[in-house]
Structure 1
Amino acid sequence: MQLDRRTLLVAGAAAGAMPAQALALNAPGPGLPAGGKGASFPPSSPASALPDVSEVIDLWPGGVAPGLLRPLTEEIPDRMKPGEPHDRYMTGQSRPRMAVFRPRQPNGAAVLITPGGGYVRVVVDKEGYELARWLTERGFTAFVLFYRLPGGDEHGWDWASGADTPLCDAQRAMRLIRYHASAFGIEPNRVAAMGFSAGGHVCADLAARFGAQVYAPIDDVDRHSARPICAAPCYPVISMHLPVGHSQSRKQLLGPNTSQTFEDAHTPSQNLPADPPPHFLLHAEDDRTVNPLNTLMLRDALKAKGVRVETHLFEKGGHGFGLRGTVGLPVAIWPQLWLNWAHTIGLL
């Protein structure tokens, strides 16, 4: 069986029942064509690979996520313009998975990255791979999570877990990282979460509801805690209440038939536990997509709980800047600010 050199797959959830040293497996799975054009994979295919990744870990045994209600077709288009870097995103994923980036010299810490995309897609490069590479250059083991999209519309959700679907995957991902910590060369208690935009909602929801039972435990992986040591929701969607909430994310997550109670239940700032992890918050005040009030309402709720919070508001940056959108702006300093902060809360 021929495999692309960049397409080593790791059947991680299947390996959930295996010892850590047996984690890496070769498996078939096409990558993207060399030209960066989109590729689609049927839900019945093996866990499809992503370009520039040596390891991909399925979250669920056999790659089969629980509760699929209607067929999905995975696609990975590229919005790249001539002379610019890749700008890929994923839609229609029925096999949630993590792309693993290992550093040459591990520092023992890991970061779970949840990219944005308005719960319509999951960004690959701008808020995923680019951040992962930045982190590995500094010794972190990085995991980019391609979580399932809830798919809320007038017909309901794509998944039986409904609005909790992304959180199911985030919890499972944290537990898998800890279960296989020795194989990754990391310490189980030094796993952070970082997310952007709608992925910032996934990150904040995980930091708020890490202990909520949103899926039935299936193996020894689920004995581990899903609580991150710290969380960094960046320009995050927080509120599910209009007009502050991001309307597209709200619709895709909650579906059309919502209520005040349902909106409350999926607004992380209203669901903080007794022991939320420390938070690093980041937003640009000229963000016209996600209102900066989302970040401020989370900050206020965390402060009211006595949680350590580092908050950075920048005058300019817009929305979705990640790393590439910060060039020439003061907001370009944000990754170093996060790194400095990470030293103070025990991640490093």
Structure 2
Amino acid sequence: MKTKLLLLLLLMVNGILAQDTILPLWPPGNIPNHVKSSEKEIHEQKEILRISKVQVPTIEVYLPSKRDATGEAVLIFPGGGYGILAYDWEGTDIAKFLNGKGIAGIVVKYRLPSNVSQTDKKYVPLIDAQRAIRLVRSKVEEFNIQSNKIGIIGFSAGGHLASTLGTHFIEEVYQPIDSIDKESARPDFMALAYPVISFGPNTHSGSKINLIGEEESSELSDYFSNEKHVTDQTPPTFLLHATDDAAVPVENSLLFYKAVKDKGVSATMHIYPKGGHGFGLGLHDEHLKDWGKQMIDWIESLR
């Protein structure tokens, strides 16, 4: 009986500790653009964990040991066409990889556009992205990181969200609610993996429709075509894409590279002849498997 009780206590403690790594972005009852509804978050675990209909956005924090920590942190925005989040494939797996390099990996479970549980859905992912980086910056001592070494990485539609944050970080897209919102939302560096960048001719139609709807609006398309909003304050950028990407054309990365180059922003780009779309860490591909190391080398060059 005592053994069972001890085991139960250990399980409870482990559960509490595990939950300490998951933090809500917003105080209870104070989530911008949220509407109470019957919509509920869905988790589907097959080859990868797909999360949809996010109601309570969070960050899941993976920290390296203090002895290995570089002081850098990277917020991770999984892709999924603004319809789902490929949460482990392009989220927690990336965080664990970063931990092995001494970098804090922080997975952002951001809300996906919804006509049911949100108002003005097109701004909701950016609202959560701005809040996420501000929340992390408010906890630099707790996370053992430096406030000027907080970067972001986004994959596919998560790359669109990351590049939106990197080009629209100064815009007020929600009313400040507490002291966290006094923190800067500007990333110190930005990595974009096979990203959706433009809502023009080379866009990924699913991402565009899910975010701004099916009715064509040149004003909205321009606003979310992030190559059009690069300034000299856009963070240093790392771009990764495959030429044979049939889902998100490589022109998205090419457009963004040209835009940052023209503004004098430091940038590097790796274009592979093959790889398709959504290859994650690319560990099973002899050519793609080293892209993570190349990104780490690039981050180190910024120090």
- TM-score by shorter chain over 0.5: yes
Residue from 16, 19, 28 that aligns with 1:8: 16
Residue from 44, 57, 61 that aligns with 1:96: 57
Determine if the alignment matches structure 1 residue 343 to structure 2 residue 300. Answer: yes
- Residue in 2 that maps onto 1:235: 194
Residue from 123, 146, 149 that aligns with 2:112: 149
Amino acid at match of 2:166: A
- Structure 1 gap ranges (5+): 10-51, 81-86
- Residue in 2 that maps onto 1:58: 24
Determine if the alignment matches structure 1 residue 289 to structure 2 residue 250. Answer: no
Task: Decide whether aligned partners of structure 1 residues 74 and 4 sit closer, same or farther in structure 2, where only a CA change above 3 A counts.
Answer: farther
- Residue in 1 that maps onto 2:137: 178
TM-score normalized by the length of structure 2: 0.91
Structure 2 CA distance, aligned partners of 1:290 and 1:184?
35
Task: Decide whether aligned partners of structure 1 residues 262 and 143 sit closer, same or farther in structure 2, where only a CA change above 3 A counts.
Answer: same
Contact 1:63 1:96 in 2 (8 A): no
Residue from 272, 285, 295 that aligns with 1:328: 285
Amino acid at match of 1:94: Q
Equivalent residue of 1:8, what SS? helix
Contact 2:73 2:150 in 1 (8 A): yes
- Residue in 2 that maps onto 1:68: 34
Contact 2:232 2:264 in 1 (8 A): no
Contact 2:33 2:121 in 1 (8 A): no
Task: Decide whether aligned partners of structure 1 residues 54 and 239 sit closer, same or farther in structure 2, where only a CA change above 3 A counts.
Answer: same
Structure 1 CA distance, aligned partners of 2:302 and 2:22?
29
Give the % identical residues.
36
Across the aligned residues of Structure 1 and Structure 2, the Cα RMSD in angstroms comes to: 1.9
Residue from 40, 45, 57 that aligns with 1:78: 45
Task: Decide whether aligned partners of structure 1 residues 234 and 63 sit closer, same or farther in structure 2, where only a CA change above 3 A counts.
Answer: farther
Contact 2:167 2:229 in 1 (8 A): yes
Equivalent residue of 2:299, what SS? helix
Per-residue deviation, residues 13-45 of structure 1 (Å, max 9, x unmatched): xxxxxxxxxxxxxxxxxxxxxxxxxxxxxxxxx
Amino acid at match of 1:285: T
Matched positions, count: 292
Task: Decide whether aligned partners of structure 1 residues 241 and 223 sit closer, same or farther in structure 2, where only a CA change above 3 A counts.
Answer: same
Structure 1 CA distance, aligned partners of 2:243 and 2:109?
28
Structure 2 CA distance, aligned partners of 1:210 and 1:257?
26
Amino acid at match of 1:176: L
Give every structure 1 segment of 4 or more consecutive aligned residues whose post-TM-superposition deviation is greater than 4 Å: 1-6
- Residue in 1 that maps onto 2:167: 208
Task: Decide whether aligned partners of structure 1 residues 219 and 337 sit closer, same or farther in structure 2, where only a CA change above 3 A counts.
Answer: same
